[in-house]
Amino acid sequence: MTEPDRPAILGGEPAFAKPPSWPPVPWLEVEEAAQRAMQDGSWGRYHGPHCRDLVEALADYHSAENVQLCASGTVAVELTLRGAKVEPGDEVILAAYDFKANFQNVLAIGAVPVLVDLDPQTWQLNPGSLEAARSDKTKAIIASHLHGGLVDMTAVCEFAARHGLVVIEDACQATGATVSSNGDGRPAGMAGDVGVLSFGGSKLLTSGRGGAVLTNRADIAQRIRLYTHRGNEAYPLSELQAAVLLPQLRQLDEMNATRLRQASHLARLIEKLNLPLKPLAPLSLEEPSSSQPAFYKVGFQYTGEGLSRDRLCSALRVDGVALDPGFRSLHRTHSRRRFRTGGELAQADVADERCVMLHHPILLENEAAIEHVARTIERILAHAEEVSAAPEPGS
């Protein structure tokens, strides 16, 4: 017997019996593209039209002079470091709260990650902490837009220009966002010297795996080309992958607009219901702005006290809501011998414990689904004591 109005973890009916999946099935334009690639044989070739077309379409979309397709976003970040001429012993600054592979890529080059703290409001890399991190070995800064938030690229680029550093912009979670850069809006990935996209299996543009590097710096593009072309491509994206990405890119703006509208709707409901969640992204649609977030995840600072962050997330999972704990902060999960820090990491400590992120597929559902998400969170928090005491789901 299920009981109404109780969280699913306490025996209630799950709020979402069938949570939305990604990629959506069916996705007709994508299926047609795959079918055409099957029928004309391009799926089985080294050199067909699709990678060429995708390079052109991405270059067009981003106003990028150089686009290098590759096997993953992770490899793309490594390529940017090589393109930036980062060498063993050099230092690369990145936020202490970032995608683990970015840290590992710096190590893979033989360089040293230097971790800096986050902006207290947005939990993105704090440009104010760059000065304390810099040394004469610093070569590059990795700026990742995470969970719907956007790094202050104007400040990062201004600092980098002053000190001759390369800015690597990780737009894997922000594909199609517009980033304010010196008062102008630029496509995410094009605000620094070189940008990275991921086409991994859950991303806004997906071919299961894949990535791309974008840059207007001819020298960086040339070094990356030399590194990847070894008489054969070392980290290729396939024709079939490119074929299924093309129709997705054509729909990206429209889908991003829907996701933004829905994320804003959720933020308004959270405020109205007084839920202890503070969005990382600026979500007031009313203010005109030269920046516009994109939502691979909708990140929040969880400020609740009665229920642990991890328990809130696991209870929501049972209700079919894909709200997950954020990343582990890098300084808390790696040996001190592997990195240097630039100043205190107080915000990155809190983010490690209190960041939550809602996965994007729900944002393409209707408004009622978003209201249902907010009500489900409210209901779990209203039963905080019982939910805390319930056995771990699945145990």
Could you list the residues that contact ligand PLP (CB under 6 A)?
72-74, 99, 101-102, 144, 146, 170, 172-173, 198, 200, 211
User: Is the distance from CB of 10 to CB of 318 less than 8 angstroms?
Assistant: no
CB nearer to ligand PLP: pick between 66 and 74: 74
Q: Which is nearer to ligand PLP, 119 or 170 (CB)?
A: 170
Least CB distance from residue 287 to ligand PLP, whole Å? Answer: 26
Q: Is 155 exposed, middle or buried (0-12, 13-18, 19+ CB in 10 A)?
A: middle
Instruction: Find the distance separating the first CA and the last CA of the chain, reported in whole Å.
Output: 20
Q: How many CB atoms lie within 10 A of CB 112?
A: 18
Distance CA 73, CA 175 (A): 12
CB of 211 to ligand PLP, least distance (A): 5
Q: Toward ligand PLP, which CB reaches closer, 100 or 375?
A: 100
**Is-contact 197 211, C-beta < 8 A?**
yes
- Which CB atom, from 138 or from 173, has the smaller least distance to ligand PLP? 173
Shortest CB 23 distance to ligand PLP, Å: 15
Please state, in angstroms and rounded to a whole number, the distance separating the CA atoms of residues 280 and 288: 18
Q: How far is the CB of 136 from ligand PLP (least distance, A)?
A: 28
Q: How far is the CB of 196 from ligand PLP (least distance, A)?
A: 7
Residue 144 CB, nearest approach to ligand PLP (Å): 5
Minimum CB distance to ligand PLP, residue 94 (Å): 11
Tokens read off for 16: 């979402």
**Toward ligand PLP, which CB reaches closer, 144 or 314?**
144
Could you give the CA distance from residue 209 to residue 199 in angstroms, rounded to a whole number? 6
- The single residue listed with the structure tokens 């922000």 is 174
Closest CB 240 distance from ligand PLP, rounded Å: 17
Residue nearer to ligand PLP on the CB measure, 16 or 99: 99
φ, ψ at 113 (rounded to 5°): -75, 135
How long, in residues, is the chain? 395
Q: How far is the CB of 17 from ligand PLP (least distance, A)?
A: 29
The residue (of 42 and 122) whose beta carbon lies closer to ligand PLP is 122
Burial of 242 per CB tally in 10 Å (0-12, 13-18, 19+): buried
Which 3 state secondary structure label does DSSP give 383? coil
Helix (H, G, I), strand (E, B) or coil at 388: helix
Query: Counting Cβ atoms within 10 Å, is residue 204 exposed (0-12), middle (13-18) or buried (19+)?
Result: buried
Nearest position to ligand PLP, beta carbon: 73
Distance CA(168)–CA(128), nearest Å, equals 17
Q: Quote the CA–CA distance of 334 and 371 in Å, as a whole number.
A: 39
15 or 166: whose CB is closer to ligand PLP? 166
**Residue 100 vs 229, nearer CB to ligand PLP:** 100
Tokens encoding 284: 């007031």
